[in-house]
């Protein structure tokens, strides 16, 4: 049975196709009754940020198309460097759909982070040999992502007898009870959990903010995901959530500038509802009630809204110390803090 190129991409698990300006074949690529969602990107950096966010959110390989080369980014369990690199590695020509499938399968098996493919077969006609290989299976793309393990209330209840969980609950409870600005990260996370609607989707960057979102946020509604990448990727993830009809909420540690600001302009152009919480040193909030009031107004509004929240991360050491007896959580905490330090180093060099 013949397939379109868009259906071929779906067959390898790709949920989104990020198209660069001038890629005239983008609509042809996505043509078909079953096809990736086409996402326009204003430049290559933003395209890679969106594709990486799709991969981090388990929405299949992140796919970028520039009109000639298809770049696929794969999810990985390894922490991601917050600085998204430029294109790297050779471009492999694939003469048939079967060759493309083999290349994707080989990349998955090898744990490759990125491959770049140049299809040399026609893209604007049905592809007769595009049926997936019998020995090659790919997961279906995910369009709605569940909460990060460890964030849900059920997990907290199941771990009630765990001494580390009790210690974490004590730390979070004590810090969340403090109302004055600058807010504790536990208080900021509690405010977000309290105001998040059913359609809300929180995407947090790696680093201290993400660490507190993961361990302190227990939303009654909505979904939460902590990425292994930096703030611009979290913004891209929230943008993708908005494209699916959710209210994307990005929690980042720096005001959006450069590529991050470009992503916000893209969200506005695409009429996406997106709230950005900047947990940093600035913001005119005097107490937690002010934070909740601004959040509720932003979550009820439309378009892109940015809230600067003064947050004091001094207490992060308490959280990390409480996790040191749990190997898996301790490693996750260390990775998050190391990612935050790396971002701070990058900022100091700019």
77-101: pLDDT as tens digits: 655 554 455 556 789 999 988 899 9
Which region among 48-62, 80-94, 127-141, 190-204 has the lowest average model confidence (pLDDT)?
127-141
Rounded mean pLDDT of the chain?
81
Assessment of whether the complete model's pTM goes beyond 0.85: no
**Most confident range, picked from 24-28, 57-61, 86-90, 341-345:** 57-61
Helix axes 231-243, 44-56, angle to 10 degrees: 80
Q: What is the pLDDT of residue 147?
A: 42
Q: Which helix (H) or strand (E) holds 233?
A: helix 231-243
CA dist 203 and 213 (Å) reads 9
Q: What is the pLDDT of residue 219?
A: 83
The average pLDDT across 325-339 equals: 50
Q: Which two tokens stand for residue 151?
A: 């964030």
The average pLDDT across 123-128 equals: 66
Which region among 196-200, 228-232, 325-329 has the lowest average model confidence (pLDDT)?
325-329
Residue 34 half-sphere exposure toward CB, CA atoms < 13 A: 12
Percent of the chain predicted with pLDDT > 70: 75
User: What domains can be seen in the chain, in order of their start residue?
Assistant: 5-119 (no CATH), 153-349 (3.40.50.970)
Cα dist from 217 to 158, 225, 262, whole Å: 16, 11, 29
Which region among 70-74, 125-129, 249-253, 322-326 has the lowest average model confidence (pLDDT)?
125-129
Per-residue model confidence as pLDDT tens digits over 228-287: 888 999 999 999 999 999 999 999 999 999 999 999 999 999 999 999 999 999 988 999
Per-residue model confidence as pLDDT tens digits over 24-40: 655 566 555 577 888 99
Q: What is the pLDDT of residue 137?
A: 44
Which region among 133-142, 176-185, 277-286, 332-341 has the lowest average model confidence (pLDDT)?
133-142
The answer for residues whose C-beta is within 8 angstroms of residue 184's C-beta and 6 or more apart is 175, 176, 178, 311, 312, 315
Please check whether residue 219 is in contact with residue 243, taking contact to mean a CB–CB distance below 8 angstroms: no
SS3 133: coil
Of the pLDDT bands very low, low, confident and very high (cuts 50, 70, 90), residue 338 is: low
Q: What are phi and psi of 41, to 5 degrees?
A: -125, 140
CA dist 267 and 39 (Å) reads 11
Q: What are phi and psi of 70, to 5 degrees?
A: -100, 115
SS3 275: strand
- Maximum Cα–Cα distance for the chain, whole Å? 65
Q: Which two tokens stand for residue 41?
A: 């990107």
Residue matched to tokens 């992140």? 62
Q: What is the pLDDT of residue 74?
A: 87
Q: What is the pLDDT of residue 123?
A: 78
CA dist 199 and 197 (Å) reads 5
């Amino acid at each position: 049975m013949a397939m379109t190129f868009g259906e071929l991409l779906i067959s390898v698990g790709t949920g989104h196709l990020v198209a660069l300006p001038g890629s005239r074949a983008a609509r042809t690529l996505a043509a078909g009754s079953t096809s990736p969602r086409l996402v326009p990107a204003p430049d290559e950096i933003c395209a890679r940020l969106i594709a990486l966010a799709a991969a981090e959110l388990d929405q299949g390989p992140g796919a970028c198309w520039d009109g000639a080369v298809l770049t696929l980014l794969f999810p990985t369990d390894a922490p991601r460097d917050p600085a998204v690199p430029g294109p790297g590695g050779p471009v492999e020509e694939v003469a048939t759909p079967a060759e493309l499938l083999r290349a994707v399968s080989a990349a998955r098996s090898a744990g490759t982070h990125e491959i770049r493919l140049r299809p040399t077969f026609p893209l604007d006609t049905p592809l007769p040999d595009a049926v997936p290989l019998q020995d090659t299976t790919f997961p279906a793309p995910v369009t709605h992502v569940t909460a990060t393990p460890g964030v849900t209330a059920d997990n907290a209840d199941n771990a009630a007898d765990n001494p580390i969980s009790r210690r974490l609950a004590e730390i979070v409870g004590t810090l969340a009870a403090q109302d004055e600005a600058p807010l504790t990260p536990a208080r900021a996370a509690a405010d977000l959990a309290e105001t998040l609607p059913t359609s809300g989707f929180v995407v947090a960057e790696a680093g201290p903010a993400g660490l507190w979102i993961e361990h302190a946020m227990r939303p009654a509604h909505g979904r939460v995901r902590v990425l292994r990448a930096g703030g611009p990727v979290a913004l891209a993830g929230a943008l993708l959530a908005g494209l699916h009809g959710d209210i994307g909420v990005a929690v980042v540690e720096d005001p959006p500038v450069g590529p991050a600001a470009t992503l916000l302009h893209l969200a506005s152009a695409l009429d996406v509802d997106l709230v950005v919480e900047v947990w940093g040193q600035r913001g005119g909030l005097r107490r937690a009630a002010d934070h909740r009031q601004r959040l509720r107004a932003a979550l009820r509004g439309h378009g892109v809204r940015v809230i600067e929240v003064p947050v004091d991360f001094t207490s992060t050491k308490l959280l990390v110390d409480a996790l040191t007896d749990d190997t898996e959580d301790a490693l996750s905490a260390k990775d998050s803090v190391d990612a935050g330090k790396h971002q701070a180093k990058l900022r100091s060099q700019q």
